[in-house]
Structure 1
Amino acid sequence: MSDKIVILAETKDNQLRNVTFEAIGAAKQVKPDGETVGIVCGSGDMENQAQEMIYYGADRVITVSNEKLENYTSEGYTQAIMEIIEEESPSGIVMGHTAIGKDLTPKIASKLGAGLVSDVTEIRLENEQLSFTRPIYSGKAFERKTITSDILFFTIRPNNIPMLERDESRTGDIQPKDIEISDLRTIIKEVIRKTSEGVDMSEASVVVAGGRGVKSEEGFEPLYELAEVLGGAVGASRGACDAGYCDYSLQIGQTGKVITPDLYIACGISGAIQHLAGMSNSKVIVAINKDADSNIFNIADYGIVGDIFEVIPLLIEEIKKIRQ
């Protein structure tokens, strides 16, 4: 088995997701002197995506272009990736712990007969022993795991493993590969996307989230403005989604998205345990709520007791002054 780590890239709107670059950083932590090989699947020309992986630390990138890979299906991507893995015989595989990563990696691990550590937030090397930290019990505790099988196979939570600096002077081989994709039981005829604006919440460094205290769909407008001046994304509690104030695609929590931004601003959110499971590992938490007894203040680094419709405009005004 070669001393190389394979990175399973993920794209969105024909662009590589940041978690792909973070996966390269994770590979370099695990095997600083090993070869890092990227795999990019899709349709059309993927040379630009492959080149970006090289700029961020990949040594070599294999691209698989096939019209049957235009949209993700577990069968199609598994066929393409397994053929490459069998040829490369890597010592490790890394991918982002995203919706696609959670679906694809267990299938590949099963076919390889390998263990899989999912949702890794930290990698440690102590006394020449690698360990991987991951949250359990909805983020209320953490466990450290070691991998004893031949292949180091793990997924990383976005915004936790630092990516390497982008270096346009780096060079590496880009190898297009033709792979036949056959016998697909699932064929995607059409993809209808809901219109979304702004930064992808799962990778945003700043998230402004609203709860029932926002009171209406119109009440989210100041949150969008605050997120815009901060270069962040907007999220919501399940209560706000259930009330029809916003779409469920914004839901954060145990039954929604789990995020780890650098800054999380909770606006009118009480702090139900299900919601905390999705954001409690944020690096800095700011809570704005007029109820001083709200549970959200128990985990907040900074708390503002006040009406969000009075506080948020003041924050926006001050931030704009600072950035002038």
Structure 2
Amino acid sequence: MADVLVVVDHVEGLVRKPSLELLTVARRLGSPVAVVLGAGASETVSVLAGHGAERVLVSEAGEFSDFLVVPRVDALEAAVGRVSAVAVLLVSSGENKEVAARLALRLGSGVITDAVDVEVGEGGPVVVQSAFAASFTTRSRVSRGVPVITVKPNSAAVEAVEAAGVVEDLPVEFSEGARGVRVVSRSARAVSGRPELTEAAVVVSGGRGLGSGEGFALVEALADALGGAVGASRAAVDAGWYPHAHQVGQTGKSVSPQLYVASGISGAIQHRAGMQTSKTIVVVNKDPEAPIFELADYGVVGDLHTVLPQLTEEINKRKG
């Protein structure tokens, strides 16, 4: 069976959920081979083996934490040279897209980003994407070389499947450019207790219709009741109502949760581009002509200041 390289995102040995989703996708295509880089890489082995990784290529070189992007590209190029890969899968993020593009260039192959699914095809993996505010679904295939594919979080279910998880050291010869950009400092992100926006299964977002920054208390309460993350439209962020790190849209973050609740958001194309692949979309807006309703699976025409508290209360009542 052909190998499928899965690039694992982890924090000092703690594997992030989207990487486990990639192992599910990889098993459709062949035999998953996990590539784990950086400090704590060896601590991920048991988790990866428990989710289908037949082999785990490990490198804990200091370059991965001290320098940006290029050391990871060097390592993945070495990994591709070591296995008979039919594809390289990465979680779709800003940094991983750059890694994917650089790797594809070195391999003389093609790169496809923001996949929502990957299917088995006769000539290689077929990549499914959503385009133009989910108006179209495209299926593409890399026609030359080893396909490099970034997959959006929440595109597949995490499945616990025991596999061999054979650990192999991955020797990496770093290129001259690997030390071109050094990380000089890091700061911890404020902890909210909520899931990471791009990985959350539930996202509740607020927009201009909230009326003020104080209105986000309603969004936060609903998100907490659902165990979800909080998002914001560009208009809300530009008004200073919520931090930019929570912006959903073309110039913010792209999300693909199981449930997306848009409250007080008109649905400009910039925002829709960042949430169009959500599985179920619920809209609360007092304007029945708001463009966001075109994407809605369920819509409520009403004042969010009335609807959201009632919804939160009912959810908490049923949970209790």
| TM-score in same-fold range (> 0.5) | yes
| Alpha-carbon spacing, 1:182–1:132, altered in 2? closer, same or farther (3 Å) | closer
In structure 2, the partner of 1:55 is: 50
Query: Residue 240 of structure 1: CA displacement?
Result: 0.3
2:273 equivalent to 1:277:
yes
Residues 221-246 of structure 1 deviation map (CA, whole Å, 9 limit, x = unaligned): 12112111111100010000000001
Question: C-alpha separation between the residues in 2 aligned to 1:80 and 1:128?
Answer: 27
Question: C-alpha separation between the residues in 2 aligned to 1:91 and 1:128?
Answer: 10
Query: Residue 85 of structure 1: CA displacement?
Result: 2.1
2:85 equivalent to 1:86:
no
Query: Residue 201 of structure 1: CA displacement?
Result: 1.1
Question: C-alpha separation between the residues in 2 aligned to 1:62 and 1:27?
Answer: 15
In structure 2, the partner of 1:5 is: 4
Residues 52-110 of structure 1 deviation map (CA, whole Å, 9 limit, x = unaligned): 11111110101110222125611121122222322224232111111122110110111
Question: C-alpha separation between the residues in 2 aligned to 1:81 and 1:298?
Answer: 41
Question: C-alpha separation between the residues in 2 aligned to 1:102 and 1:126?
Answer: 23
In structure 1, the partner of 2:186 is: 191
In the alignment, residue 308 of structure 1 is paired with which amino acid?
A: L
What is the aligned counterpart of 1:42 among 38, 41, 46? Answer: 38
Q: Please, which runs of 5 or more residues in structure 2 have no aligned partner? A: none
In the alignment, residue 17 of structure 2 is paired with which amino acid?
A: N
In the alignment, residue 7 of structure 2 is paired with which amino acid?
A: L
Query: Residue 145 of structure 1: CA displacement?
Result: 1.2
CA contact (8 A) 1:288 1:305 kept: yes
1:106-185 alignment runs, 5 A limit: 106-125=101-120, 130-137=125-132, 139-163=134-158, 165-167=159-161, 169-179=162-172, 181=174, 183=176, 184-185=179-180
Aligned to 2:49, the other structure's residue is in SS state: helix
Percent of pairs identical after alignment? 31
Question: C-alpha separation between the residues in 2 aligned to 1:264 and 1:72?
Answer: 36
Question: C-alpha separation between the residues in 2 aligned to 1:212 and 1:38?
Answer: 43
Aligned to 1:287, the other structure's residue is in SS state: strand
Question: C-alpha separation between the residues in 2 aligned to 1:12 and 1:233?
Answer: 20
Question: C-alpha separation between the residues in 2 aligned to 1:214 and 1:13?
Answer: 39
2:198 equivalent to 1:206:
no
Aligned to 1:70, the other structure's residue is in SS state: helix
Aligned residues: 317
In structure 1, the partner of 2:217 is: 221
Query: Residue 129 of structure 1: CA displacement?
Result: 6.6
In structure 2, the partner of 1:287 is: 283
In structure 1, the partner of 2:14 is: 15
Residues 2-42 of structure 1 deviation map (CA, whole Å, 9 limit, x = unaligned): 821111111246522222112212211122xxx32111111
Question: C-alpha separation between the residues in 1 aligned to 2:119 and 2:164?
Answer: 29
Query: Residue 181 of structure 1: CA displacement?
Result: 4.2
Aligned to 2:85, the other structure's residue is in SS state: coil
In the alignment, residue 304 of structure 1 is paired with which amino acid?
A: V
2:295 equivalent to 1:299:
yes
Question: C-alpha separation between the residues in 2 aligned to 1:316 and 1:187?
Answer: 46
Question: C-alpha separation between the residues in 2 aligned to 1:213 and 1:240?
Answer: 9
Aligned to 1:191, the other structure's residue is in SS state: coil
In the alignment, residue 174 of structure 1 is paired with which amino acid?
A: V
CA contact (8 A) 1:287 1:297 kept: yes
CA contact (8 A) 2:12 2:41 kept: no
Residues 116-125 or 48-57, more deviating: 116-125
In the alignment, residue 142 of structure 2 is paired with which amino acid?
A: I
